[in-house]
Amino acid sequence: MIDQIKDLTNEIQSYAVSTKDELEAFRLEFLSRNGRVQSMFKNLGSVPKEERGAVGKAMNEAKQLAQSRFDNLKTKLESTDQQVKAAIDDITLPAPEPIIGSLHPLTQTLAEMKNIFYRLGFTIADGPEVEDDFHNFTALNFPPNHPARDEQDTFFVRKSDDPNMMDLVLRTHTSPVQIRLMENTKPPIRSIMPGRVYRNEAVSPKSYFLFHQVEALYVDENVSVADLKETLITFVKLMYGSNVKYRLRPGFFPFTEPSLEMDIWWGSEKDGKWLEILGSGMVDPNVFTAAGVDPEKYTGFAWGMGVERIAILKYGIDDIRTFYENDIRFLEQFN
């Protein structure tokens, strides 16, 4: 029995305690009603009478050791808590390093694009994301049978066979903002239209059903294709550097005539390739007429570019889906 008490004493002395939870575990193990010290006393009656004195003394010493170690550990932990509290309350100590987040790469790219167009004299216009058929298609010179009107290409919020009830769609571009701006603002107009747009497309590394656009509209007397070209060239040089290699080529859009598309060279001189970044052109007279602007007096240009495409080229990202996965490992690269 004496040997068992010695083993228990050694365990009491070597039991590791560094937290309040561990101290409570120590108490339950040795000092509680069902703890090992109390259980040891229950066996005293089975000890021969001639040994009870020595065994009882050893048991009391083990109990006192357990209680003494518990009290000392408790005092030490409470003292540590007070020191920590005092340190926290000490306003002369350096503040802890704050955990600072960052803007999403799309937000950063859009902010840079806005700043460039601010420098070029453009303002910002906004409009609804749920649009009617007139502003999203008809006023922009889309014919009634144009593929963009199909349900395979557009998210319809409301589609009706009633000719008196206009279809509602999630806007497929921010061009409807141009129409609303011309309806309510007398030229000259010089504005960009950033915002989210939606298209019923299959998700892939290069396409997504939600993306962001920055469109622009400049309407005034005697606006020319030369003005459009100079604006676009200035933008790509400010966005990608003065050495950027670019080209303008003919294109087609229902709402502009003539139309131009712009590409930039991406990669090395040997292994690079041309990548389209925007579509643009002179505003079609039919669009001016639909929006209440006199096409005989005013001319203008417009363009549309995807923020995701600009960001992909700027940061070398190869999958558009990465922008929407909220992977902290990806986002931390843009702190």
Residues 68 and 152 reside in one and the same domain = no
Task: Report pLDDT for 73.
Answer: 83
10-residue mean pLDDT series, the chain (335 residues): 77 83 84 79 74 77 84 82 63 74 90 95 95 93 79 84 86 95 95 95 88 96 96 94 93 93 86 89 96 96 93 87 88 83
Task: Report pLDDT for 88.
Answer: 62
Final residue in a domain of this structure, among 61, 89, 117: 89
Final residue in a domain of this structure, among 89, 114, 143: 89
Task: Report pLDDT for 139.
Answer: 94
**Predicted confidence (pLDDT) per residue in 162-212, tens digit:** 877 889 999 999 999 999 999 999 999 999 999 999 998 888 888 899 999
**Position 99 in a domain:** no
Give buried/exposed letters for 180-189 (b at 16+ CB in 10 A, else e). bbbeeeebeb
Q: Which two tokens stand for residue 269?
A: 């001189």
Is residue 210 within 8 Å of residue 198, measured between CB atoms? yes
**Position 133 in a domain:** yes
Give the range of the structural domain holding residue 314, as residue numbers without chain letter.
Answer: 105-334
Final residue in a domain of this structure, among 89, 122, 151: 89
CA-to-CA dists, residue 77 to 53, 74, 332, angstroms: 36, 5, 38
Mean pLDDT of the chain: 87
Residues 85 and 109 reside in one and the same domain = no
Residues 325 and 187 reside in one and the same domain = yes
Work out how many domains the chain is built from and give that number: 2
Residues 210 and 77 reside in one and the same domain = no
Residues 144 and 287 reside in one and the same domain = yes
Distance CA 310, CA 323 (A): 13
Residues 132 and 62 reside in one and the same domain = no
Task: Report pLDDT for 39.
Answer: 77
CA-to-CA dists, residue 87 to 74, 80, 274, angstroms: 20, 11, 60
Task: Report pLDDT for 306.
Answer: 92
Residues 61 and 203 reside in one and the same domain = no
Task: Report pLDDT for 25.
Answer: 86
Residues 200 and 243 reside in one and the same domain = yes
**Position 96 in a domain:** no
**Position 22 in a domain:** yes
Distance CA 198, CA 128 (A): 12
Report the predicted TM-score, pTM, of the whole model to 2 decimal places: 0.67
At 292, which CATH number? 3.30.930.10
**Position 282 in a domain:** yes
H or E element, residue 252: strand 246-253
